Chain A
């Protein structure tokens, strides 16, 4: 079970998208896990052949627990599946029940008629369900074909049905997400000594450049100013790598790339901040396409495990909502958050002349354990410089 966020302790397994014997490639989505932030498509990072699926739907699995066994190249997946000490294969209806001898202790050698051991032949395709379980399933509206027996007799019991009913009950997604946000933000404010910097950036040049660019490309390829901002943030981070990464027990660990967590508010409340990977190396067109795709999937609840687990910094943009400045709370274990406000028309003084200009309020919330105000200022200054040379951001 991958960790899909710093505060995740376990996930509820939903379904497999692969089966034993199937070849899997690195990065392929192989299953779905339900977390406090919704259903996440989990990718596999080990290429090979799936040998055995261990997780089953409805099961709550702690982070780090094995969900499946994979045979790497050269290994025999069938052998791995066979040696994995596990009960009957999924879905197999099999009688494992040894008939108890009536007489305890030593049994006379001659088997009397009433002692004849009876073997119950397995009925293929028909699951064994106790009468009480069957009736409870009817009461609860549980589909028995989806219930897995937990006992040693491979019989679906009333407890199995009740467990399935609890798992099937639609979780209160909003409340769970609220809890997750509460936990992460409390931890942040408890542990991270934030410092805050803000600066106004004249965005006229960047906007006019973007408008010109957009006029020259088909409608489908037009980019939002938000995408340009993200690109600028990613490039600016190259100057101040201590803002991009994680702080944990071992101290600061720089991020492996500029994976910008984009804060996306969800319909019905709550928010997620999935990652756009390697933003500094994306063209503006690619970045825009990926941003659109990410927004769509975030809002339809189809985020991937890698997007949830590895943002190296978060960018929050409340600009659309008419807020001029946003001072964000860092999402642990990240060490910085960039806030971008609404573009506002303001009087701007350039070389002694006052002229109207659209101004962007950029803020930085950063972890004082890792960086200082001087370095933070450097980042915002670099962001300003980049936005004054938008061609670099193309």
Chain B
């Protein structure tokens, strides 16, 4: 066994950034407050001092402008990492992301590629109210031409960025705000991680909990509680929302015959609907019960703590839904 270090999610992200900046001089970081302020979530703290203003660039308050600049830099051979403060603000740059980043390879007949990586914070749980707390990664997963990844573990938080930078096409990384302070032990030496496959985080035989990002830890704890109740839950961390790893999902559901999707995003027209559709398309005859979903409530995320808690998936709700599904 190699040595391990104790680290939190925020530090793991920073290590990933540092690693990328050290290994490839074409890599630079750009975004609001990433330099002098150290990032609005303090992820890039200390990087300006280490790498200088050329590579750690504070951007003006215009998502459209700096995301567009990142796309332009990528088109011209750089490997930009663009940080958008939260997914809600990324909507100001949606035109750049969808109409430029996602399309140019196709529109140029393959002559152009846009190897940009756009990081953004997503999700609720920190009482930041309805303009900073939504989970819109499911929307982005709708768009061909993008790859959507959602690191939910420390290893993925550190490792996914570098792998994303190797992709010749745009990759969006969604970092869940509630994970930033989660601590754990990981290998001291950074390891390469893939951004292609879902991971089975816990094996089980009775039901598959399918989730990603900020809901993974809840699903893992729910699985522990379910085990005490005699229900053996398998937990799948999707990791990559686009393209979805259908094979891992179908294999697991074919084994457990029961599926419960846990997605902080809204139910209607959401990612959970897409996963459910694929399960039904590809594993209908394996199912022993209708697939279920635990999603965010169909409201703008509230500010008040108790309402915010009530608006997103929680452990008890996952446990109750899973038990009901296998009964």
Binding site for B on A (CB under 8 A): 97, 100, 102-108, 112-115, 130-135, 151-153, 155, 157-159
Q: How far, in Å, is B168 (CB) from chain A's closest CB?
A: 38
Q: Is the CB of A108 within 8 A of B310?
A: yes
Give every chain B residue within 8 A of A104 (Cβ-Cβ). Answer: 294, 310, 313-314, 316-318, 320
Q: How far, in Å, is A68 (CB) from chain B's closest CB?
A: 27
Interface of chain B residues 128 through 173 with chain A (CB within 8 A)? none
The listed residue with most B CB atoms (<10 A of its CB), out of A104, A106, A155, is A104
Out of A114, A131, A159, name the residue touching B287 (CB < 8 Å): A131
Q: Is the CB of A115 within 8 A of B297?
A: yes
Which residue on chain B has the smallest CB distance to residue A161?
B288
Out of B292, B299, B312, B321, name the residue touching A112 (CB < 8 Å): B299
Answer whether residue B195 sits at the interface, using C-beta atoms and an 8 A cutoff.
no
Q: How far is the CA of A104 from the CA of B307 in the complex (A)?
A: 11
Q: Is the CB of B267 within 8 A of A102?
A: yes
Which residue on chain A has the smallest CB distance to residue B309?
A105
Answer whether residue B257 sits at the interface, using C-beta atoms and an 8 A cutoff.
yes
Give every chain B residue within 8 A of A103 (Cβ-Cβ). Answer: 296-297, 310-312, 317
Q: How far is the CA of A157 from the CA of B314 in the complex (A)?
A: 28
Known: A108-B307, A131-B286. A100 touches B257 (CB 8 A): no
Q: Is the CB of B324 within 8 A of A100?
A: yes
Q: How far, in Å, is A133 (CB) from chain B's closest CB?
A: 6
Interface of chain B residues 298 through 312 with chain A (CB within 8 A)? 298-299, 306-307, 309-312
Q: How far, in Å, is B321 (CB) from chain A's closest CB?
A: 5
Answer whether residue B327 sits at the interface, using C-beta atoms and an 8 A cutoff.
yes
Q: Is the CB of B284 within 8 A of A131?
A: yes
Which residue on chain A has the smallest CB distance to residue B312?
A103
Which residue on chain B has the smallest CB distance to residue A110?
B299
Known: A100-B320, A100-B324, A151-B327. A106 touches B289 (CB 8 A): no
Give every chain B residue within 8 A of A108 (Cβ-Cβ). Answer: 297, 299, 307, 310-311
Q: Is the CB of A115 within 8 A of B287?
A: no
Q: How far is the CA of A151 from the CA of B231 in the complex (A)?
A: 14
Give every chain B residue within 8 A of A100 (Cβ-Cβ). Answer: 292, 320-321, 324
Q: Is the CB of B297 within 8 A of A155?
A: no
Out of B285, B298, B311, B313, name the residue touching A131 (CB < 8 Å): B285
Q: Is the CB of B286 within 8 A of A107?
A: no
Which residue on chain A has the smallest CB distance to residue B293?
A102
Q: Is the CB of A114 within 8 A of B310?
A: no
Which residue on chain A has the smallest CB distance to residue B315?
A104
Given A114-B268, A115-B297, output 11 extra A-B contacts at Cβ < 8 Å.
A100-B321, A102-B267, A102-B293, A102-B297, A104-B316, A105-B316, A107-B297, A108-B299, A130-B287, A153-B289, A157-B288
Answer whether residue B47 sits at the interface, using C-beta atoms and an 8 A cutoff.
no
Q: How far is the CA of A103 from the CA of B323 in the complex (A)?
A: 16
Give every chain B residue within 8 A of A113 (Cβ-Cβ). Answer: 268, 298
Q: Is the CB of A102 within 8 A of B294?
A: yes
Q: How far, in Å, is B123 (CB) from chain A's closest CB?
A: 16
Q: How far is the CA of A131 from the CA of B311 in the complex (A)?
A: 33
Can you list 13 A-B contacts with CB-CB less than 8 angstroms, sorted by A residue number? Answer: A100-B292, A100-B321, A103-B297, A104-B294, A104-B310, A105-B309, A106-B310, A107-B297, A113-B268, A131-B284, A131-B285, A131-B286, A134-B285
Give every chain B residue within 8 A of A134 (Cβ-Cβ). Answer: 285
Give every chain A residue within 8 A of B296 (Cβ-Cβ). Answer: 102-103
Answer whether residue B28 sits at the interface, using C-beta atoms and an 8 A cutoff.
no
Q: How far is the CA of A157 from the CA of B257 in the complex (A)?
A: 10
The listed residue with most B CB atoms (<10 A of its CB), out of A105, A151, A157, A158, is A105
Q: Is the CB of A107 within 8 A of B310?
A: yes
The listed residue with most B CB atoms (<10 A of its CB), out of A102, A106, A115, is A102
Out of B266, B288, B313, name the residue touching A114 (CB < 8 Å): B266
Give every chain A residue within 8 A of B294 (Cβ-Cβ). Answer: 102, 104
Closest 9 CB pairs of A and B: A104-B317, A112-B298, A114-B298, A103-B297, A130-B288, A132-B288, A105-B310, A114-B267, A152-B327
Q: How far, in Å, is B135 (CB) from chain A's closest CB?
A: 14
Give every chain A residue within 8 A of B20 (Cβ-Cβ). Answer: none
Q: How far, in Å, is A93 (CB) from chain B's closest CB?
A: 16
Known: A131-B284, A133-B288, A153-B289. A115 touches B310 (CB 8 A): no
Give every chain B residue within 8 A of A107 (Cβ-Cβ). Answer: 297, 310
